[in-house]
Amino acid sequence: MALEIREAKDRKDLRTFIYLPEKIHANHENWVHPIYMDEWSYFNPQKNKAFAYCDTILLLAFREGKPVGRIMGIINSRYNEQRKEKTARFACLETWEDKDVVHALLSQVEEWARQKGMTRIIGPYGFSDQDPEGFIIEGFENRATIATYYNFEWMPSLVEEEGYTKDVDYFVYKLEVPKEIPEFYKKIYERIKRRGKFEIVEFRKRKELKPWIIPVLTLMNECYTGSNIYGYAPLDEKEMSDLAKKYMPVLDPRFVKAVASEKEVVGFIVGIPDMTEGIQKARGRLLPFGFLKILRASKKTKQLDLLLGAIKEKYRGMGVDVLMGVKTILSAHEAGLEVIDTHHELESNVKVRAEMERMGGKLYKRFRVYQKKL
């Protein structure tokens, strides 16, 4: 049966591209639908500013006229210029278990990247590290969070057959929320508080968050760029605003913590109650009543998902992480939450990983980004 690969160019093709994964993952109990309202914005160059500085291609695979796979190719020019690289990315790779489709889709993106002068390709990786990154390779028995990929177990091996090898791994820990703050944390926390150098900022309502959005995301830009975070390209103010708009409706102010010193934001952490069970029940549709299912799930969950966090470099090792950690644990405990998903930690980030393990965190998921020379 002949396989046809063609570029998604019109709205009909884009609809096929966006909704194909839910057909592929039908009855896949740990896969979570995207929020489709967000998907339409993500793939819209008028709404997603990343298209302005990235070359992209969206491809669909067809067999006998039926869609059987998809992939996106990305060249983030801003990132490449900053890092002096010629690296392309593949993202959104979805298909049934079919090595011919995987081969055809990856080959087409690779050739597109070569023609653009690229010498290397990584993936799965989106426009930035704010998008899902890496195939899951361990922890398939656990449901996805809203910020991660969830692929079938066979997908990594099919990609490896195409000549891809490990580039980086991300670790995800599960922490039990302690009924009491560990003694070693208490001592550090009290010592930092007595010094009076830092102010811990907490929130009760979403409107209280608004004045902090740009300062917090500016700090994220500074920290992620300065620390050479894998795959990260700085956001401009419009992109910060778009990121805030995406997550503001689902943020719970209780789980956003900031630390200030002399009115300057020096650290922050953002978490949300896990709402993926509600997203599954709503099938990613907010209307007409999907948002109620999602809201109900976020109130019933026992899990807190961490999304973002950063500490200004010159304040690292001064207890800022402890201030935020203690307050997050207290808020989680008060909310009746029992576990925390730490989100992605780079394998090479041994300091943060050691801190997670010191708190009793158990590695329960691992994700891998692959690379290939072109």
**Domains of the chain, start order:** 3-170 (3.40.630.30), 178-337 (3.40.630.30)
Among 101-105, 158-162, 213-217, 286-290, which stretch is predicted with the lowest mean pLDDT?
213-217
Task: Name the pLDDT band for 210 (thresholds 50, 70, 90).
Answer: confident
Task: Kindly state the percentage of the chain with pLDDT values over 70.
Answer: 99
pLDDT computed for residue 331 by the predictor: 95
pLDDT computed for residue 227 by the predictor: 66
Question: Do residues 142 and 365 make contact, with C-beta atoms less than 8 angstroms apart?
Answer: yes
3-state secondary structure of 265: strand
Rounded to an integer, the average pLDDT of 182-195 is 87
Place of tokens 């201030």: 323
DSSP-assigned states of every residue in 187-238: HHHHHHHHHT--EEE--SSHHHHGGGHHHHHHHHHHHHHHTT-TT-----HH
Task: Name the pLDDT band for 238 (thresholds 50, 70, 90).
Answer: confident
pLDDT computed for residue 1 by the predictor: 66
Query: 351 pLDDT exceeds 90?
Result: no
Among 132-146, 229-243, 248-262, 328-342, which stretch is predicted with the lowest mean pLDDT?
229-243
Among 13-17, 116-120, 128-132, 280-284, which stretch is predicted with the lowest mean pLDDT?
128-132
Among 120-124, 147-151, 177-181, 248-252, which stretch is predicted with the lowest mean pLDDT?
248-252
Provide the residue count of the chain: 374
Query: 243 pLDDT exceeds 80?
Result: no
pLDDT computed for residue 262 by the predictor: 86
Query: 89 pLDDT exceeds 80?
Result: yes
Task: Name the pLDDT band for 240 (thresholds 50, 70, 90).
Answer: confident
Query: 136 pLDDT exceeds 90?
Result: yes
| Helix/strand number for the chain, H first, E second | 13, 14
pLDDT computed for residue 12 by the predictor: 97
pLDDT computed for residue 226 by the predictor: 64
Task: Name the pLDDT band for 285 (thresholds 50, 70, 90).
Answer: very high
Whether the pTM exceeds 0.85: the reply is: yes
Query: 5 pLDDT exceeds 90?
Result: yes
Alpha helices in the chain (DSSP H): 11-24, 36-42, 77-83, 99-115, 155-160, 183-195, 206-209, 213-226, 237-247, 276-282, 290-300, 320-334, 350-358
Rounded to an integer, the average pLDDT of 204-229 is 84
The chain-wide mean pLDDT, for the chain, equals: 92
3-state secondary structure of 310: strand
Task: Name the pLDDT band for 232 (thresholds 50, 70, 90).
Answer: confident
Task: Kindly state the percentage of the chain with pLDDT values over 90.
Answer: 71
Task: Name the pLDDT band for 65 (thresholds 50, 70, 90).
Answer: very high
Alpha-carbon distance of 74 to 128, in angstroms, equals 10
Condensed to tens digits (0 to 9), the pLDDT of residues 306-349 reads 988 999 989 988 999 999 999 999 999 999 999 999 998 999 88
Task: Name the pLDDT band for 235 (thresholds 50, 70, 90).
Answer: confident
Question: Per DSSP, what are the bridge partners of residue 57?
Answer: 73
Question: Do residues 59 and 3 make contact, with C-beta atoms less than 8 angstroms apart?
Answer: no
Task: Name the pLDDT band for 248 (thresholds 50, 70, 90).
Answer: confident
Rounded to an integer, the average pLDDT of 74-99 is 96
pLDDT computed for residue 80 by the predictor: 95
Query: 87 pLDDT exceeds 70?
Result: yes
